C-alpha cells in the first residue's frame, strides 16, 4: 500500500461522510465521492482505483442490486483513468482533473437528472462548484504526496 492510496482512501472516506451527512441532513446530495474518485484516478493504479470504487459503491449502495446510477458512478472514474493514461493532454494535470470532475458531474446530471438542471439550476451549479472544489482539494493533497 502506497501513501497515494492511503491519502486517496482517507479522502474518499471523508467525501463519503460529507455526502451522506449533507444528504441526510438537508436532502441535497452533492457528488463529493465522485469528485474524489475522479481526482484519485489521475494518481493511483487501476487496481487501487477499483478498490476505491468498490468501497464507495458499497457505502452508497448497500442494497444487493446495482442501479444504473451506481453503474455509471463506477464507470466514470475508470473512463477518466484510461483517458488520463492513454491520451496526452496539452493542459496541466490540475486543469485536466478539474475538467474531468466537471465533465463527470455534467454527464451524471445529463443522464439521470436533466430536469434538475432546468428546474433548479442553482442546485446544479452549487453541486458543480462543490464537486470541482472538493476534487481540487483531493488532487492537491495527492499531488503533494507525488512530489515528496
pLDDT digits (tens, 9 = 90+) for 66-112: 788 899 999 999 999 998 888 776 667 778 888 999 999 999 889 98
In this prediction, residue 90 carries a pLDDT of 64
Q: What is the CATH number that goes with domain 3-147?
A: 1.10.1760
Burial 16-51 (b: 16+ CB within 10 A, else e): bebbeeeeeeeeeebbbbbbbbbbbbbbbeeebbeb
CA distance 19 to 5: 20
How many helices and strands, by DSSP H and E, does the chain display? 7, 0
C-alpha cell at 118: 432546468
Backbone angles phi, psi at 92, to 5 degrees: -70, 155
Q: Which residue has the cell 485536466?
A: 96
Q: Is the pTM of this model over 0.85?
A: yes
- Residue % of the chain over a pLDDT of 90: 50
Amino acid at each position: 500500500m502506497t501513501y497515494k492510496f492511503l491519502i486517496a482512501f482517507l479522502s474518499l472516506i471523508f467525501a463519503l461522510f460529507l455526502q451522506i451527512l449533507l444528504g441526510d441532513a438537508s436532502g441535497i446530495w452533492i457528488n463529493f465521492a465522485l469528485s474524489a474518485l475522479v481526482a484519485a484516478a489521475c494518481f493511483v493504479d487501476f487496481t487501487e482505483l477499483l478498490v476505491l470504487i468498490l468501497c464507495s459503491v458499497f457505502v452508497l449502495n448497500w442494497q444487493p442490486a446495482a442501479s444504473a446510477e451506481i453503474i455509471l458512478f463506477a464507470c466514470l472514474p475508470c473512463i477518466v483513468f484510461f483517458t488520463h493514461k492513454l491520451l496526452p493532454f496539452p493542459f496541466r494535470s490540475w486543469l485536466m482533473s478539474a475538467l474531468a470532475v466537471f465533465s463527470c458531474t455534467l454527464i451524471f446530471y445529463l443522464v439521470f437528472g436533466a430536469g434538475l438542471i432546468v428546474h433548479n439550476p442553482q442546485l446544479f451549479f452549487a453541486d458543480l462548484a462543490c464537486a470541482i472544489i472538493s476534487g481540487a482539494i483531493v488532487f492537491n493533497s495527492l499531488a503533494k504526496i507525488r512530489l515528496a
